[in-house]
Structure 1
Amino acid sequence: MFRNYFKIAWRNLLKNKFYATISIIGLTIGFTVGVLILIWIQDELSYDNFIEDSGQIYRVNINGKMGDNTFYAGYTPPPAGAALVDNFPEVESYTRIYRPNAGVIESKTAEGQHLFNETDIYAVDPNFLELLTYPLAKGDPKTCLQSANSIVITPQIAKKYFGNTDPMGQILYYGKDKQPLKVTGLLKDLTNLPATVKFDMLMPVQNFGDVTYFNWSWVWLNMATYVKLTSQTTEDPKTLTNLESKFPDMLKTQAASAFERIGQPYKQFLKNGNYWNIHLQPLTDIHLHSGEIVSAISDQGDIQNIYIFGLIAFSIIVLACVNFTNLATAQASRRSKEIGIRKVLGSPRSQLIKQFLTEAFLYTIISAVFAVLLVALILPLFNSLSGKTIPFHSIFSNGIWLILLGLTLLTAFLAGIYPAFYLTSFKPVNILKNSITSKKNGLLRNGLVVFQFVIAIVLVISTIIVFTQLRYTQQRDLGYDKENILVINNGEKLDAGVESFREEIAAIPQVEDATSSTGIFTKGSFGDFYVPQTTETDNMVAKDISLGSYLVDDHFISTLNLKIEQGREFDARFNDSLSVIINEAAAKQIGWENPIGQKIRYPGGNMEYYTVIGVVKDFNLESLHSSILPFALFSKSSQSYDTGVSFITLKYKTDNPKELIATIEKEWKNYQQDVPFEYSFLDDDLNAAYKTDLQQASLFGIFTALSIFVACLGLFGLVAFTAQQRTKEIGIRKILGARVTEIIKLLSMDFLRLVILAMLVASPIAWLAMNQWLQDFAYRINIPWWAFLVAGIAALGIALITVSFQAIKAAIANPVKSLRTE
């Protein structure tokens, strides 16, 4: 029987090639988008699942408040892991990650010397690969990081430094001291591995003096700590909650001496309204559920993106189903006699329903096959746009193919269920008398057309607003110059020669000015807390303030064209070693109306007081996702702290920056032969901060275009069918003198009214959705009214073009042929 169903379904498909093609194209696009988004979602949801016992592993986060500033970070002080293991039997073990500054790695092989500056070197505890089970191709995870002179590398690094030679046992030389490191482990390729933390090299953390020096500190937050809990603890949520409730008491004991050492008694710190709390976050939640948790080593996404793109995939599949349903019900009158005769000959309704569901299944199975082939073709482009490296074979793994099969069956059912029941509901006597009414059918089709365009218009409005916000982020005044700014990395590798090098390049005719600093915009900053000095006449209570800061020279403000609002900038004619320039946000948070001459004390270092000599206009350090926070510029001569990092930034005036860069590189090699010359343009660095937003906007735009195409595809088929149904009417009207424009208006207006109705429904939906999306930006646009007007005009224009094509074709047809049409 089913074989017969398929034969009839195939014959009907061949008989109605035009409508079948429209349906299959729509379903193919729907499936293609669905599969692409499905494998993207699957990849997002699978982060860190490869790690053994991942359900027992947690990252230790810290949530703190200093003065009016709060933060939540995926970092901990160095002693946090050991303290948790020592104080709580629920914590089995811990491991830590420290990200040092970029370092030079060198190899010496028969082919010659290979020397590169590496940024993805992580320092870890010896048990790192035991607790976080990244796959090793060679080596023992229990021993490969035990020795201080060991290193574990990826296949890409092995190829880079040793070619096709087996890297195990080979020697790499690290840093300016050329510390020899023996390759004791080779990782498997991590490129396609869904991991929140990825790296090129692993070294024992004992090589880095910063970590051992600050092992006493509970305020030096530069390590990521992971703990493994007992299985009993993770099985019972109450036990986990009870464990976290004990942490504050532990901190009162453990952190007290560290806070006392920096002149900030912990009890007084808490009494002032501050807090310093640690929390546990499940390893598998880090990627999608980190929200405002800051981390420079973790690949942190957003669960909202899963919902957004999942909804888009669902919407486009529904659009394709709506097309199929619309076209199937539109052709009801064509197949009514077939149904009537079958019923008269004794076919039960259930048999007819099975027949039409079989036809829907045939359409969907053909579309699914085409979709898989299309996915294979466009997956590289999709990966490029989404920033992923998803392999094609992932479709046939992890249950994706079962989901695809289920999606195919579900789509067949959803697309075919109404036509099946509708077409089989006609009474034979009415069919054979041609007395079938189609009013209800027409209302359904109109409702589905409105539904299609509501989805399409919502996506169009959303796309316009997304790109408008991104353009705003790129054009907004950030408080400094970003054009024609060149940033040179690794200034710290020049040691004492950094100032001489800065002077050399500043003297190049194409260079307007050059500066040396410990930080530059988009590349992080040093953060710590400070205490404003108060006097008896200040009428204010001293409270801690958290400040991000750079150590800069006296050319920093002029090079970046920062605006001094009060006071002066650093000047070589003065001794500014105990001077500080703060931004407006810092002055406002402290409550200083006249900050010049006021002092702040730095609890670190030697408890020095720094006098405010200037207030700079607020500027954005990072992307506009983040608000402007209190910030300070200290003179490099203060040496109040050491980040071990230095950047040389210059402003140039030339139409040929390549020539300038070549000149600077030549000068660099005169100062440092063993460190590769690396640079970037500040505007490119800023654009990179919006890389994820731009990727998502591009995908959003593509999916929006596809949704419009699918909606118009269905509209095209409906207009073609309507024109065909009204062929004789059109012929008679033309004979009676109707003009072509009147015929076009006759066939178009009903559909354009539906698009207008869809626009009215879609506008408030889009406004609510995009208002929520914009909440992620600290600096955002007001939703523009013209976005709705543009979307509406675009939808009407596209619909009009779609309708007009068939309407014109029908209007210019020979009326004699129209009247002969049966």
Structure 2
Amino acid sequence: MLRNYIKIAWRNIIRYKTNSLLNILGLTIGLASVMLIALYIQNELSYDTAFKDADRVYRVNMKGKMGDNSFYAGYTPPPAGEALVSNFPEIESATRIYQPYNTTVAYTNGETPKAFSESEILAVDPNFLEVLSYPLLKGDAATCLQQPNSIVITPQIAHKYFGSENPLGKTLLYGEEQRPLQVTGVLTDLEQYPASVKFDILMPVANFGDVSYFNWSWVWLNMATYVKLTKQASENPDALSRLEAGFPEMLRVQAAPGFKRIGQPFDEFLEKGNYWELHLQPLKDVHLYSQDITSSITEQHDVKSLYILGIIALFIVVLACVNFMNLATVQSVKRSKEIGIRKVLGSQRAQLVKQFMTEVVCYTFFAMLLAMVLVFLLLPGFNELTGKSIAAADFFNVELVVLTLAIATITAFLAGSYPAFFLTSFNPIHVLKGKGKTTKTNGLVRNGLVVFQFCIAIALISCTLIVFTQLRYTQQKDLGFDKENVLVLNNTERLGTGENSFKEELTAIPGVRNASSSSSMLTRGQFGDFYVPKATTDEPNIASDISLGSYLVDDEFIETLDLELTEGRAFKKEFNDSLSVLLNETAVAQIGWKNPIGKQLQYPGGNMEYYTVVGVLKDFNLESLHTAIEPFALFSETSQSYESGVSYITLKISGENTVNTLGQIEKLWEGYSESAPLEYTFLDEDLSHAYQEDRRLASLFTIFTALAIVVACLGLFGLIAFTAQQRSKEIGVRKVLGASVGDIVSLLAVNFLKLVLLALILAIPIAWLAMSKWLQDFVYRIDIPLWTFVVAGALALGIALITVSFQAIKAAIANPVKSLRTE
């Protein structure tokens, strides 16, 4: 019997070619979209799951507040890990990660040295590969990082420096001082290993003096700490909450000496309403559930983007199913006599339902095969768009195969159930008499499905327009500085004592207008510490302390970036500004100064020196618009308050003949440094990089929205073709009586365009609510503009009109004699 069902299904697929093509194409697009999105979601959910004992590993996060300034970060002070292991038997071990600045790595073997600038370097504790079990191709995870002069690399780094030679035992020269490090391990290809901590090189943290120097500090937050719980603790559901309940008391004991050393007694610090807390975050949650946690060490995405993509995938496959149902109902007239005859000849309704469901399964089977081929063809481009390295083999993951088959089965059921039961419910006597189902009910269902399809399509168009409008806002908003034609030279501390001479010679290059040096640069992080404002008789009621981010800068920094001063002056050579400070408006407001010029800040973290405020900077954004402007300061590079160990030179260039200007800068650099290559970026590109994930989401929105529109139009195309065919006699009569082509097109199109307008009305609140939620991730965001809905509606109407007009014009220009003769 099944064989007979399949034969009849195949004959009907061949017989109704247009209908079959539209159905298979719609289902193919829907299933391919679901498969691609499922691959993406599977990759995102697999982060940090391959580690041994991943369920027992947690990242230690720090949450703090000082005055009006609060933060939540994936960083801890250097002594946090050891303190946790010592005080809590439930914690088996801890390991730390420190991210040094970009530097050069070289290899020489009696030949021309190979020197490259490396940015993906992490300094870690010796047990790092035991807590986070990245797989090794060569070497022993327990011993490869034990010695300070050891280094572990990826296969890509090994090939870059050593070619096909065995890298184990070879020596790489690290940094400007060319410290020799011996290769003791080679990792597997981490590009195919989904982990939130990415790197190319590992080396022992013992090589970095600033870490050991700050081992006393509980406010120097520059280390990521991971802990591993004992097996017993990880199996106890209450262990985590009990652990965190003990952290405050541990901090009172452990952090007190460090806070006292910087002039901030810890108990007094807490009594002011501040807090300093440690929290544990499961390793598997780090990648997708850290949207409020700051970290430059880990790759963090927002789980909401997966929900959005999942909803879009659901929408597209539902649209495909709706298409199938709609096209099947319009076929009811053509197949009603077939059903009536079958019933008269004794066919049971159950048999007819099986016949129609078999046809749907055949459609879905062909669509699934085509969708798989389409996915394999599109995967390279999809990887490039999303920044992933998803392999074709990932598709054959058992879970994904089961999911795909389940979606195909559900799709077949959803797409086929309504037509099957609808078509087989016809009364055979009525059908054979030409009455069939009432057109009112039939038309109401079809119209409702069209409205549903275009409601989804218009909502997706509106969301896409709003996403791009927000991204354009981030690019055009006045950030408080001039980002155009600003060139940032990285890691210029490599020039040593020659840095100042190099900077001076840069200004002699015709295309360079200004040159300045600083300890950091916008989007590159900042030095942060506590400061104590000094109360005065005229302003006694001020904040007792404040947390400030800061840069060390030269006298040209403000002019180079075109920062605006609202009060006072900038740093100048004619003044001794070693004890001067410039504050931004937010810092002045938090302190509570009405007349800040001449007021003083004490820095307990240094030598208890006082810094005099000589100027107030208009607020400007140091990071992306996802984050709020926080209290910030500029100190003169002549200040001895702290050392950053890194330097940047920022150039304001003319923008004319940029290639020639860059060539002269590179030539000048080579005269100062033979081994270290020049590294530079443009500031507007650095700022744009902060929105990379938003742009990817926008691109995915655009692609899948386009696919949703295509699927919706396929159904509309079939409906208008059916309508034109059903009304061919009416059209013929109207043409004979003098109706124009425009009249006929209007006759067929107006009702469908009314449905699209109804869909627009229903889509607006849906898109508004969804985008209001998404925009909450931006501190600085647009108000949702009404024009996005107008454009979305106009675009949907235009696409629908083109789709409808194609068939309507075809019907309108047909010879009326032929249709009348046929009838």
Q: Which residue of 1 aligns with 2:34?
A: 34
Establish whether residue 454 from structure 1 lines up as the match of residue 448 from structure 2. Answer: no
Aligned-pair identity in percent equals 62
**Partner letter of residue 540 of structure 1?**
N
Taking a change above 3 Å as real, the CA distance of residues 43 and 771 of structure 1, as seen in their structure-2 partners, is same
Taking a change above 3 Å as real, the CA distance of residues 263 and 398 of structure 1, as seen in their structure-2 partners, is farther
Establish whether residue 290 from structure 1 lines up as the match of residue 316 from structure 2. Answer: no
Q: Which residue of 2 aligns with 1:793?
A: 794
Q: Which residue of 2 aligns with 1:264?
A: 264
2:113 counterpart SS class: strand
Give me the TM-score of the superposition, normalised by structure 1.
Answer: 0.99
Establish whether residue 524 from structure 1 lines up as the match of residue 532 from structure 2. Answer: no
**Partner letter of residue 225 of structure 2?**
T
Q: Which residue of 2 aligns with 1:374?
A: 374
Q: Deviations over 1:337-371 (max 9, x none)?
A: 11111111211111111111111111111111111
Is the 1:109–1:162 Cα contact (8 Å) retained in structure 2? no
Q: Superposition pairs for residues 154-173 of structure 1, below 5 Å?
A: 154-173=154-173
Q: Deviations over 1:167-190 (max 9, x none)?
A: 111111111221111111110000
Q: Superposition pairs for residues 49-68 of structure 1, below 5 Å?
A: 49-68=49-68
Q: Aligned partners of 2:643, 2:3: CA distance in 1, in Å?
A: 78
**Partner letter of residue 42 of structure 2?**
Q
**Partner letter of residue 715 of structure 1?**
L
Is the 2:624–2:690 Cα contact (8 Å) retained in structure 1? yes
Q: Which residue of 2 aligns with 1:354?
A: 354
Taking a change above 3 Å as real, the CA distance of residues 555 and 541 of structure 1, as seen in their structure-2 partners, is closer
Q: Superposition pairs for residues 444-523 of structure 1, below 5 Å?
A: 444-523=445-524
Q: Which residue of 1 aligns with 2:744?
A: 743
Q: Deviations over 1:103-128 (max 9, x none)?
A: 21111136632101111111111111
**Partner letter of residue 426 of structure 1?**
F
Is 182-191 or 523-532 further displaced after alignment? 523-532
1:49 counterpart SS class: coil
Q: Which residue of 1 aligns with 2:301?
A: 301
Is the 1:533–1:542 Cα contact (8 Å) retained in structure 2? no
Q: Which residue of 2 aligns with 1:662?
A: 663
Q: Aligned partners of 1:654, 1:274: CA distance in 2, in Å?
A: 47
2:108 counterpart SS class: strand
Is 652-661 or 474-483 further displaced after alignment? 652-661
**Partner letter of residue 649 of structure 1?**
T
Taking a change above 3 Å as real, the CA distance of residues 445 and 622 of structure 1, as seen in their structure-2 partners, is same
**Partner letter of residue 815 of structure 1?**
P
Taking a change above 3 Å as real, the CA distance of residues 168 and 398 of structure 1, as seen in their structure-2 partners, is farther
Q: Superposition pairs for residues 4-43 of structure 1, below 5 Å?
A: 4-43=4-43
TM superposition shift of 1:654: 4.2
Give me the TM-score of the superposition, normalised by structure 2.
Answer: 0.99
Q: Which residue of 1 aligns with 2:124?
A: 124
2:75 counterpart SS class: coil
Q: Superposition pairs for residues 725-804 of structure 1, below 5 Å?
A: 725-804=726-805
Q: Deviations over 1:568-593 (max 9, x none)?
A: 00000000000000111111111111
Q: Aligned partners of 1:811, 1:510: CA distance in 2, in Å?
A: 65
Q: Which residue of 2 aligns with 1:588?
A: 589
Q: Which residue of 1 aligns with 2:616?
A: 615
Q: Deviations over 1:445-481 (max 9, x none)?
A: 1111000000000011111111111111101111111
Q: Superposition pairs for residues 547-696 of structure 1, below 5 Å?
A: 547-696=548-697
TM superposition shift of 1:706: 1.1
Q: Deviations over 1:395-424 (max 9, x none)?
A: 111421111111111100110000010011
Q: Which runs of 5+ in 1 are unaligned?
A: none
**Partner letter of residue 384 of structure 2?**
S
Is 343-352 or 91-100 further displaced after alignment? 343-352
**Partner letter of residue 322 of structure 2?**
V
Q: Aligned partners of 1:389, 1:286: CA distance in 2, in Å?
A: 20
Q: Which residue of 2 aligns with 1:231?
A: 231
Q: Aligned partners of 2:613, 2:656: CA distance in 1, in Å?
A: 39
Is the 1:340–1:431 Cα contact (8 Å) retained in structure 2? yes
TM superposition shift of 1:293: 0.3
Q: Which residue of 2 aligns with 1:409?
A: 409
**Partner letter of residue 769 of structure 1?**
A
Q: Aligned partners of 1:435, 1:664: CA distance in 2, in Å?
A: 85
Is 728-737 or 24-33 further displaced after alignment? 728-737
**Partner letter of residue 609 of structure 1?**
Y
Q: Aligned partners of 2:434, 2:465: CA distance in 1, in Å?
A: 49
**Partner letter of residue 345 of structure 1?**
L
Is 667-676 or 109-118 further displaced after alignment? 109-118
Q: Which residue of 1 aligns with 2:211?
A: 211
Q: Aligned partners of 1:753, 1:234: CA distance in 2, in Å?
A: 60
Q: Deviations over 1:186-233 (max 9, x none)?
A: 100001211000100000111111111111111111111000112332
Q: Aligned partners of 1:373, 1:566: CA distance in 2, in Å?
A: 65
Is the 1:58–1:281 Cα contact (8 Å) retained in structure 2? yes
**Partner letter of residue 770 of structure 1?**
M
Q: Aligned partners of 1:351, 1:528: CA distance in 2, in Å?
A: 78
Q: Superposition pairs for residues 713-728 of structure 1, below 5 Å?
A: 713-728=714-729
Is the 2:468–2:698 Cα contact (8 Å) retained in structure 1? yes
Give the CA RMSD over aligned residues.
1.1
TM superposition shift of 1:487: 0.6
TM superposition shift of 1:674: 2.0
TM superposition shift of 1:541: 4.2
**Partner letter of residue 438 of structure 1?**
T
Is the 2:102–2:117 Cα contact (8 Å) retained in structure 1? yes
Q: Aligned partners of 1:771, 1:630: CA distance in 2, in Å?
A: 28
**Partner letter of residue 810 of structure 1?**
A
Q: Which residue of 1 aligns with 2:102?
A: 102
TM superposition shift of 1:618: 0.8
Is 94-103 or 231-240 further displaced after alignment? 231-240
Q: Which residue of 2 aligns with 1:438?
A: 439
Is the 1:492–1:645 Cα contact (8 Å) retained in structure 2? yes
**Partner letter of residue 118 of structure 1?**
E
Q: Which runs of 5+ in 2 are unaligned?
A: none
Is 146-155 or 438-447 further displaced after alignment? 438-447
Is the 2:6–2:358 Cα contact (8 Å) retained in structure 1? yes
Q: Aligned partners of 2:190, 2:565: CA distance in 1, in Å?
A: 47
1:776 counterpart SS class: coil
2:146 counterpart SS class: coil
Q: Aligned partners of 1:477, 1:202: CA distance in 2, in Å?
A: 40
Is the 2:75–2:221 Cα contact (8 Å) retained in structure 1? yes
